[in-house]
A and B are shown apart, each in its own frame.
Chain A
């Protein structure tokens, strides 16, 4: 019986090790990109600090800053969940995208300071309808602790899932940084058991904590600011749309890495095909959660609920709502129901780009509108605020935040390979192609 490694053109672990670790070398283009990104990130940070200076700005000035915070938390910071899900389900199709997804968790280093700065721009929370019920130091202390814990978990996942690869870099390239981070790793059975169990435990904790943090992001930075907005589904909507956008961010990143880092031999159509089903499912869930939020408010016809619908969906922000709905649901659904589109590389990636655009527009819609009506407790909405176009300062913050994430990503790729080497090698062991009577089949093994 002839067997070949399934869907791989790199057949030996040694070849994969040499190939992937060679990609840690930064080319000239990489250095230029790093410098440019650093400049943009610093510019964004400077603008942010100026905005936060002692003179209080009206809440509406912070709308775009909160939107980019929510966008990063909904996309990059949600990406590690996709990696965790494929690890939990032992889905080998997900191996090529796991490192790309895990590294997007570095966005926590951008969102954490941004979140904390924004927390202190919130209007007075006493007496406000929120989940805190006037607890002392709420929401500032608890939200800050929550986001810090989320980021720490992010970093722990990145480190833990990279340890074997860092050890490989230590051994083959003599990298001192890799040696330090690998902490003397040797691939004993005990260490492998702890590593695999630890990644699942950390991933589970991360998922639960992510949902929890999104609950407070959505409720404290949006719902609590809009009089009469009592939607209990909104935090869940926020979390689910983040899972959708996280998968989208992972796919786009994976395509870019595949092209720029020459990973065609490691990243075939399988991760795109597998993730496309997730995109289809989460797009349907996007519609479901949007509908579930809308219809009780529409049906009840209570005045304060009609006001909320006007502020968020059908008033001046209708174009953003419509665009978000089309980009997050209509187009992804219409495209992904076709198998040839799902089973391709460009198809799911194009849909991912639509979703990322739609997610950004959606976050602008939610947070710009909320921060535009934010005021003292007990104030009712007299006028539905118009869409304020972004000023230069807003653009600086948006571009700066994105640049900071990309900068961190590129720096990380100097230390760890873009594809998880140890997981790739385990797949080489456990998936083979084999002849079955007269046809070729893939055999997938899942050890206990």
Chain B
């Protein structure tokens, strides 16, 4: 069975237990856990397939964003009040309570914006790669991608079919 240019092949399963069995078999056959990825159309409990845990640094993004937003809010409020120093309603030129309201909104906007960017980044998106993909995954099938299977594609295919894969896909992904 030929693999795609990226040396990957995708096994399609209908039963989640069989996916877990396939991952075990592939590990026994010498495939590293980092080269095995599952594709599902809905989240499963973490570790359900026995896959390697995923580490991320998403939590850095909200803090960075909050800092940026806070700084922008501070600059805008101080800058505009200093640029047009007019006492209104008896309040001092640099009135801290109103500044806090605007700075708070700036902080939250920065935090949320950076969090969204962080989610997209940490999810490794956008991803328009040519790795194999099958639309049946969105119909409840579970995909098991073996990347970097050059030279061991037959081994991988045998392991997955033995575990109960209903199909093996090697065409470039239509997931774009």
Contact = CB atoms under 8 A, between A and B. Distances in A.
B43 interface: no
Given A437-B48, A438-B49, A439-B45, A295 B16 contact: no
Interface string B81-108: 0000000011100000110000000000
Interface string A171-215: 000000000000000000000000000000000000000000000
A436 B49 CA distance: 9
Contacts of A414: none
A294 B20 contact: no
Given A299-B89, A301-B89, A301-B90, A439 B97 contact: no
B49 A294 contact: no
A294 B100 CA distance: 13
A295 B102 CA distance: 14
Contact of A436 (B48, B97, B98): B48
Interface in A121-160: none
Interface in A271-322: 294-295, 298-299, 301
Nearest to A294: B97
Interface residues of B, number: 15
Given A294-B97, A295-B97, A298-B97, A438 B89 contact: no
Interface string A430-448: 0000001111010000000
B97 A438 contact: no
B71 to A, nearest CB: 19
A297 to B, nearest CB: 10
B45 A441 contact: yes
A438 B47 CA distance: 7
A301 B48 CA distance: 61
Contact of A438 (B50, B90, B91, B98): B50
Interface residues of A, number: 10
Contacts of A437: 16-17, 20, 44, 48-50
A438 B33 CA distance: 15
A295 B98 CA distance: 9
Interface string A407-448: 000000000000000000000000000001111010000000
A299 B16 CA distance: 61
Contacts of B139: none
A3 B97 CA distance: 56
Q: Considering residues A295, A438, A439, A441, which has the most beta carbons from chain B within 10 angstroms of its beta carbon?
A: A438
Contact of A439 (B17, B48, B89, B91): B48
Contacts of B97: 294-295, 298-299
B64 to A, nearest CB: 15
Interface string B12-32: 000011001000000000000
Contact of B48 (A294, A295, A298, A438): A438
B54 interface: no
Contacts of B44: 437
Contacts of A295: 97
B47 A439 contact: yes
B37 to A, nearest CB: 16
A301 B17 CA distance: 69
Interface in B22-66: 44-50
Contacts of A439: 45-48, 50
A340 B40 CA distance: 30
A393 B111 CA distance: 51
B87 to A, nearest CB: 12
A148 B34 CA distance: 66
A438 B89 CA distance: 66
Contacts of B16: 437
A248 B138 CA distance: 47
A301 B98 CA distance: 14
Q: Considering residues A436, A437, A439, which has the most beta carbons from chain B within 10 angstroms of its beta carbon?
A: A437
A295 B99 CA distance: 12
Contacts of A299: 89, 91, 97-98
Interface in A48-63: none
Contacts of A301: 89-91
A376 B89 CA distance: 33
Contacts of B50: 437-439
Nearest to B100: A291
Q: Considering residues B17, B45, B46, which has the most beta carbons from chain A within 10 angstroms of its beta carbon?
A: B45
Interface string A17-38: 0000000000000000000000
Nearest to A438: B50
B56 to A, nearest CB: 14
Contacts of A294: 97
B150 to A, nearest CB: 28
Interface in A239-298: 294-295, 298
Interface of B: 16-17, 20, 44-50, 89-91, 97-98
Given A436-B48, A438-B49, 12 more contacts: A294-B97, A299-B89, A299-B91, A299-B97, A301-B89, A437-B17, A437-B48, A437-B50, A438-B20, A439-B45, A439-B47, A441-B45
13 contacts: A295-B97, A298-B97, A299-B89, A299-B91, A301-B91, A436-B45, A437-B20, A437-B48, A437-B50, A438-B20, A438-B47, A439-B45, A439-B48
Q: Which 10 A-B pairs have the closest CB atoms?
A: A438-B50, A439-B47, A437-B48, A438-B20, A301-B90, A439-B48, A437-B20, A437-B16, A441-B45, A298-B97
